Amino acid sequence: MLSGEQLLKQAFSEVAAIKYGQVPEYRHIFSLRYRIRKHKLLRSLERKTAPEPRAHTGRFRLKYLVLAIIMACVLVLAGVTGFYIVNGFKFTTKPTHTLVLTTGWEDAPEFIEQRYSIDVPEEYSIYREETDSSLIYFIEYRNNDTFIRFEQYTKKSFNATYNTEGYDYEEIDDGRIKGFYIRWEDYGALVWDNGDYVLEIKSTLSKEETIELAKTARIR
Amino acid sequence: MLSIYLSMVETDEQRTFIEQLYKTYERKMYGAAFDILHNKHDAEDAVHSAFVRIIENIEKIIQIPADKQGYYIVIISRNISIDICRKKNNSEMPIENIDEIEDRISFDDVIDSRLTAESIRKCIFSLRESDFEVLYLNLLCELPAADIAGILAIKPTTVSQRIYKAKKRLIKIIEEQKC
């Protein structure tokens, strides 16, 4: 047998569940300003909760340094991996793929503050547009079996992996577009650094057409 | 200012908890805020401020059972929205400077066999929203006035007074229901 207080609590719980169900959930897309503030808040929590680095003695540090150098030499000599920098991108090659990062993002915006767009041919229409966070934005256009996908990253967040098993990338520098291009069987990717952001076009278009398209990139 | 709040988030468990709250309740909080403010930007500000306040009170909120968290967080969002609304309209909160109230009200004597579960729910639905919220936090979430004061950003004495008045009003409604 429930007491009066317990009956009341049960009733409160049931009423709260009904009231909670009545609170609307709008299909709202949160603004960039909100997302930046949210991101900063969560990132601050990460910094706060990051584990303290372990204090190593000089002997330990030297041991790990020597070990790291030996391993790096072995791997490079074996042709397993290596890295080099082209047009501000750092390429780390693996047997089947290549990791690409940017270098020197200190002066670049931490978040996407201004979105870029490109002038796609008229026959293409927007297929989807998404932003995962205030760090990445992409828009995809389609025309039957062909597509153009334009992506924008903050320089710090750009971290891409490309299939380079049997394919290679080439350096692009025509004065305006400075980056690299890689072509697979069906489509290619042009990646360049415009100073503030890393922009990328993945498309079924030819390399030349993609470069021409890249030149139309401007702030929306 | 923010760093003061964030200094209270000490563990990975708490950080994960905050991320989970964002995933689960962000839209609901926005819905509650928008219904009061009728403005997207203000509603987003309210949601953000609510999360800052949640972080400020993380130690208390993390103790709330999961099934009670949803409405609890909606209450925070609603109250912040009401504050924003008041500030925009330049209306001041009434100054309540009343001494701590010794709350000895028990519902065991009030709720008897004449009342069905349905009739109790009906009485609770008759409460004004602010009374319902403060009793929800006090009776169901079992939070003392000082903790509720932290969540609603008001004085503990004001919370005590609100709880007392809300209980009185609920008892009056229940007594009327019995007749």
Instruction: Name the average pLDDT for chain B.
Output: 82
Least confident of A152-166, B48-62, B97-111, B143-157: B97-111
Higher-scoring residue by pLDDT: B10, A163:
A163
State how beta strands A159-163 and A169-173 pair.
unpaired
Count of CB atoms situated within 10 Å of the CB of B159? 25
Higher-scoring residue by pLDDT: A122, A48:
A122
Contact of B25 with chain A, judged by CB distance below 8 Å, is answered with: no
pLDDT band for position B109 (cuts 50, 70, 90): confident
Query: Is the per-residue pLDDT at A19 higher than 80?
Result: yes
Mutate to test the interface with B, among A8, A18, A38 (most CBs of B within 10 A): A8
Instruction: Name the average pLDDT for chain A.
Output: 81
pLDDT band for position A58 (cuts 50, 70, 90): low
How far is B69 from B58, CA to CA, in rounded Å? Answer: 12
User: What CATH number does the domain located at B2-88 have?
Assistant: 1.10.1740
Query: Taking Cα atoms as reference points, which of A185, A189, A176, A204 lies closest to residue A100?
Result: A189
**Beta-carbon contacts below 8 Å between A and B:** 119
- Which residues in chain B are closer than 8 Å to A19, comparing Cβ atoms? 71, 132
Q: What is the mean pLDDT of residues A18-46?
A: 82
Query: Topology of B117-178 in CATH?
Result: Arc Repressor Mutant, subunit A (1.10.10)
Query: Taking Cα atoms as reference points, which of B129, B34, B128 lies closest to residue B84?
Result: B34
- Which residues in chain A are closer than 8 Å to B113, comparing Cβ atoms? none
pLDDT band for position A220 (cuts 50, 70, 90): confident
Domain range summary for chain A, segments of one domain joined by +: 54-79, 87-219
Count of CB atoms situated within 10 Å of the CB of B134? 27
Q: Which of residues 69-128 of B touch A (CB under 8 A)?
A: 70-71, 74, 106-112, 115, 117, 120-121, 123-125
Query: Is the per-residue pLDDT at A50 higher than 60?
Result: no
Count of CB atoms situated within 10 Å of the CB of A205? 20
Q: What is the mean pLDDT of residues A52-78?
A: 62
How far is A102 from A89, CA to CA, in rounded Å? Answer: 5
**Residues ≥6 apart with Cβ < 8 Å to A165:** A95, A96, A97
Contact of B176 with chain A, judged by CB distance below 8 Å, is answered with: no
What percentage of chain A reaches a pLDDT higher than 90?
A: 20
How far is B111 from B108, CA to CA, in rounded Å? Answer: 6
pLDDT band for position A48 (cuts 50, 70, 90): low
Query: Is the per-residue pLDDT at B16 higher than 80?
Result: yes
Domain range summary for chain B, segments of one domain joined by +: 2-88, 117-178
Q: What is the mean pLDDT of residues A62-74?
A: 70
Alpha-carbon distances of B137 from A54, B28, B125, B147, B165, rounded to whole Å: 43, 18, 16, 9, 14
Does the predicted interface ipTM exceed a cut of 0.85?
Answer: no
Nearest CB to A41 within list B12, B51, B124? B51
What percentage of chain B reaches a pLDDT higher than 90?
A: 25
pLDDT band for position A185 (cuts 50, 70, 90): confident
Query: Is the per-residue pLDDT at B85 higher than 70?
Result: yes
Q: What is the mean pLDDT of residues A34-58?
A: 65
Q: State whether A19 and B55 contact (CB < 8 Å).
A: no
How far is A134 from A124, CA to CA, in rounded Å? Answer: 26
Q: What's the pLDDT score for residue A74? A: 67
Strand locations in chain B, DSSP E? Answer: none
Q: What's the pLDDT score for residue B103? A: 55
- Which residues in chain A are closer than 8 Å to B108, comparing Cβ atoms? 3-5
pLDDT band for position A133 (cuts 50, 70, 90): low
Query: Is the per-residue pLDDT at A52 higher than 60?
Result: no
Query: Is the per-residue pLDDT at A71 higher than 80?
Result: no
Task: Kindly tell me the burial class for residue B157, based on how many C-beta atoms sit within 10 Å of its own C-beta (0-12, 13-18, 19 or more).
Answer: middle
> Residues of A at the B interface (Cβ-Cβ below 8 Å)?
3-5, 7-17, 19-20, 23-26, 28, 30-31, 33-34, 37-38, 41-42, 44-46, 48-49
pLDDT band for position A118 (cuts 50, 70, 90): very high
A13/chain B closest Cα distance in angstroms: 7
Higher-scoring residue by pLDDT: B52, B105:
B52
